[in-house]
Amino acid sequence: MAKAARQALWYGTGLHEFGISIPIKMYADNTAAISLARIPVLSDRSRHIDISYHFVRESVNNKKIDLDYIDTASNPADIFTKALVPVTHNKFCDVLGVAAEREC
Task: Please report which residue ranges of 1-104 form alpha helices under DSSP H.
Answer: 2-17, 31-38, 52-61, 78-81, 86-96
pLDDT reading at 52 higher than 90:
no
Q: How far apart, in whole angstroms, are the C-alpha atoms of residue 91 and residue 72?
A: 13
Residue 99 confidence class, pLDDT cut points 50, 70, 90: confident
Dihedrals phi, psi of 41, to nearest 5 degrees:
-130, 125
Give the per-residue pLDDT at 30.
Answer: 86
pLDDT reading at 102 higher than 90:
no
Q: Is the dihedral of CA 88, 89, 92, 94 positive or negative?
A: negative
- Per-residue pLDDT tens over the stretch 1-13: 888 999 999 999 9
What does the DSSP 8-state code read for residue 82? S
